[in-house]
Amino acid sequence: MEASVRQIQVTFDCAEPERVARFWCEVLGYVAPRPPEGFASWDDFNRTLPPEQRDSWFACSDPSGAGPRLYFQRVPEGKVVKNRLHLDVRVGIGLVGEERLAALEAECSRLIQLGAVRVRLLPADEVNESVVVMQDVEGNEFCLA
Confidence band (pLDDT; 50, 70, 90) for 5?
low
What pLDDT is stored for residue 18 in this prediction?
Answer: 93
**pTM > 0.75: yes or no:** yes
Q: Strand, helix or coil at 136?
A: coil
Q: Which residues of 101-121 are buried (b: 16+ CB within 10 A; e: fewer)?
A: bebbeebbeebeeeebeeeee
CB 132 within 8 A of CB 95: no
What pLDDT is stored for residue 99 in this prediction?
Answer: 94
Give pLDDT tens digits for 83-140.
Answer: 778 899 999 899 989 999 999 999 999 999 999 999 999 998 888 899 999 999 999 9
Q: Give the gyration radius of the chain's Cα atoms.
A: 17
